[in-house]
Amino acid sequence: MNRAFAKWGPRAVAALLLAWLLLVALTQPLNHDEHQFLTAGWLMRHGQWPWRDFPLFQVPLLPLWYALLAMATDWLLLAGRLTAALAAWGVLLWVWRWCV
- Residue-wise pLDDT for 29-41, tens only, equals 888 777 788 889 9
Mean pLDDT lowest among 44-48, 57-61, 78-82, 84-88: 57-61
Q: How many domains does the chain have?
A: 1
Specify the pTM. Answer: 0.73
Q: What is the span of the domain harbouring residue 19?
A: 3-99
The 10s digit of each residue's pLDDT in 10-68 is 888 888 989 999 999 889 888 877 778 888 999 999 999 999 999 988 887 888 899 99
For 21, 43, 54, 67, the CA distances from 61, given in Å and listed in that order, are 22, 14, 15, 10
Distance, CA of 68 to CA of 77 (rounded, Å): 13
Angle separating helix axes 32-45 and 61-72, nearest 10 degrees: 60
Tell me, what's the pLDDT at 6? Answer: 67
What residues does 50 pair with on adjacent strands?
Answer: 54
